[in-house]
Amino acid sequence: MRISRGTADDSGELARLLWLDTVNGEYSESSADEFTADLATWWTVHQDTHLAFVARLDRPEIVGMAWVALIPRTPRPGATSRLSADIQSVFVVPEQRGQGIGSALVHAASGHAAQLGALRVTVHSGRKAVPVYERLGFESSRQLLHRPFSRTGQPSPA
């Protein structure tokens, strides 16, 4: 297995994985073409803040991905270059799961964020993946709170 930083050349494969993760494996070339173009455009705008890490086996196609969003934090006296990071969109194709690919991707993405000076790395996980992230050193925090919004942008009722 090879883990590397994704590049613009990988955007088509990354779009395929994002599509598979979102629509439960139903990928059709014609319906995904527009999303592939949208992802390429989005990544061009966000290439400095959102980095993709990809996994390949012996073949050239990508079998897994993990994104890390780099979030500049407000400067403080004595700490003018504060940075946080958020792991996003970790996905491994179903037939390759259980081989440590997802863990290797998360290690690569979070390690890169740490090298860049991130003070912390967060992840918003589904329930089934929480034990995986805990094995990778992530911990729940009572201080990390979130406020969900409806699709209209209004706060959800308490």
Q: For 125-148, what is each residue's pLDDT tens digit?
A: 989 999 999 999 999 988 888 888
> pTM for the full model?
0.88
Q: Rounded mean pLDDT of the chain?
A: 90
List the chain domain ranges. Answer: 2-135
* Block residue for tokens 């993946």: 129
Q: Which CATH superfamily is domain 2-135 in?
A: Gcn5-related N-acetyltransferase (GNAT) (3.40.630.30)
* DSSP letter string, 126-147: -GGGHHHHHHTT----SS----
d(CA 40, CA 1): 25
Residue 70's DSSP bridge partners are: 85
